[in-house]
Structure 1
Amino acid sequence: MALSLGKVAYINCEPVYYGIEQGAIPAECRIVDGTPAELNRMLEAGDLDLSVISAIEYARHSDRYLILPDLAIGSDGPAESVLFLSRVKPASLDGRLVHLTRDSLTSVYLVKLLLAKVFGVRPQFLSATADTIDRLPEDVAGVLMIGDPALRARGQLPFTLDLGQGWKEWTGLPFVFAVWAVRRDVYDDHREETHRLHRALLSSKRYSLARLDEICTTVCQRVGLDSDTCATYLKERLSFDLTPRHIEGLYRFFTLLEAEGDLPSTPVLEFIDVV
């Protein structure tokens, strides 16, 4: 059986999927592209077998999923593609209207935490997807942007809060935006296929990370970035591992959300078997 595999349609997934999509790493799967929010919904609905999903999606439905070891999208400092841009200083946003992207649950919860706990403000939040800053209404003081649009938006409003950097300065820990997870029912019925695909993803990650310059040449025009900017982003900003420190960062995030009342409890991270 060829499992269906979700892939975020941004360049931040290239360092994991490139080897598979180039045919260099054999993998029995059908890759489905989508935004983080779309992949969350598809995995929950049973329309995907396995996918990269928002960390918060795992936390909300940990009884339905198992995590794949050694795979994540995170940062240990600036992320560059998860930005809150504002017309005024973040500390002046209390009660002001801000737009939060519909495309990423994890980033939405993180920016709310940072604004409340680090800057002491609670704006009025409105769900809206913004691809460009120039269409932002004048009465909106700030906007959360993710992925490729965020990479192009830096500096287009007077103040920029990089959520990865904000988290690192606050906690001293890396932040995990997304993990790879399989539905528990799929794993129960297709354990060997899941393990084969996990091994293929890990092999593809090794293959792809060794070819980041090649990847940048391929994708930079697609997102409107020069090759050097793309290389800095993929080589120096993002992390694709799930180390003990990343796991500690995940637990800290979930614990803070529980304290805020945004999670009923802090979930236990449960993984597929290591074979």
Structure 2
Amino acid sequence: MPLRVSAISFLNPAPLLYNFEHEPTASELRTRYDIAYTTPAQCAAQLHAGAADLGLIPIAELDEHLAIVPGCTIASTSEVRSILLLVKNPHAFSVDEALHQVRTVAADSASRSSLAYAKVLFAHFHGNRPGFVQQPAEPLSMLEHADAALLIGDPALLAREHRQAIDAAQPHLLWLDLAQLWRDRTGLPWVAAVWAVRPEALGHHSGVTAQQLIDDTNNSRIAGKANVETLVAEWAPRIGLPDQTVRTYLTQNIHYDLDDDCLRAIQLFRKLAAGIDALPPLNHLPILASDELASGI
């Protein structure tokens, strides 16, 4: 029985899924994995409910019942561009003061990690706990009745492409990158998601061992990073972005290697989000001792 996989239908995981979606590897991998596409929040819900065995899930949804698959992540070491916080600032406050003044945030509900990051940043670094209201990802509508809008994924990238029109309709906006805010305040990468697996699904049930899973996911990551131009050609017309925007996003804005800094960032995020120091430790599948793969673990 193939391992049931819940994956994300955004641009940013495209390199991680490369071998699963492109020949000559896709046909073979379909014998081991059955992939369904949804939002990050639904990936986590399906994994927790037992409707999926493996998921590319927000780090806010990790718990001691799941195991992190080493090597792969969706992260950023500076500006990510796809997590955008728009803040009304008619009085030309500094960024810190403007964030302190926010009382309501209209938020796209696609990613629980991004919502959790925003709440952590407001509470721990700006002494503020604004109310969050979920709305469809349309920036001008979101800002009609809220002090700020949080856009996630492809809608955030599209908003940046149309910044001139948005600024004309809603002047005095601060355009803030959530990953850059996190980096500036912690010195650590912003980490959105990792592959997580229900350990009991491995082995006899699916025929996929921990070692095979680590091999397959990391080989796909390596192939995706080596075939960026193929992904640019596929995704630029699909979401209506210029080739160079997609190329820069996949090669400079997103960091795909789950390294030690990313693991430290996950630990800090969990601590701040939970508000307690003594959290149950997270599980990790045994790390593959390959030079090429270990460079991203």
Question: TM-score, with normalisation over the residues of structure 2?
Answer: 0.84
Cα deviation for residue 102 of structure 1 reads 1.8
Q: Name the counterpart of 1:41.
A: 45
Structure 2 gap segments, 5+ residues each = 168-172, 289-297
- 31, 45, 57: which is aligned to 1:53? 57
Instruction: For structure 1, list consecutive stretches of 5 or more residues without a partner in the other structure.
Output: none
The answer on whether the counterparts of 2:77 and 2:190 sit within 8 Å (CA) in structure 1 is yes
Query: Which runs of structure 2 are paired with 1:122-271 in the superposition (5 Å)?
Result: 122-126=129-133, 128-136=134-142, 138-154=144-160, 155=163, 156=166, 158-187=173-202, 189-190=204-205, 193-195=208-210, 196-259=212-275, 265-271=278-284
Give secondary structure in 1 for the equivalent of 2:4: strand
Task: Note if contact 1:73-1:179 (Cα within 8 Å) is conserved in structure 2.
Answer: yes
Match of 2:235, SS state, is: helix
**Aligned pair count?**
268
Identity among equivalent pairs (%): 30
Question: Aligned AA for 1:56?
Answer: A
Shift of residue 188 of structure 1? 6.2
Per-residue CA shift, 1:69-104, capped at 9, x if unaligned?
001110111111111112226533535221122221
**What letter corresponds to residue 30 of structure 1 in structure 2?**
D
Structure 1 runs, 4 residues or longer, greater than 6 Å off: none
Is the Cα–Cα contact under 8 Å of residues 251 and 266 in structure 1 kept in the other structure?
A: no
Equivalence for 1:80: 81
Whole-angstrom distance in 2 between the partners of 1:64 and 1:176: 20
Larger Rg: 2
Are 1:20 and 2:16 matched, yes or no?
no
Say yes or no: does 1:274 pair with 2:287: yes
Q: Is the 8 A contact 1:92 1:121 kept in 2?
A: no
- State the alpha-carbon separation in 2 of the partners of residues 129 and 95 from structure 1: 17
Structure 2: distance between partners of 1:269 and 1:63: 5
Measure the CA separation in 2 of the matches of 1:272 and 1:192: 16
Question: RMSD of the alignment, in Å?
Answer: 2.0
Inter-partner Cα distance in structure 2 for 1:65 and 1:209:
27
Question: TM-score normalized by structure 1?
Answer: 0.90
89, 100, 112: which one pairs with 2:107?
A: 100
Cα separation, 1, equivalents of 2:215 and 2:115: 31
Which shows bigger deviation, 186-195 or 29-38?
186-195
Structure 2: distance between partners of 1:81 and 1:137: 18
Is the Cα–Cα contact under 8 Å of residues 15 and 208 in structure 1 kept in the other structure?
yes
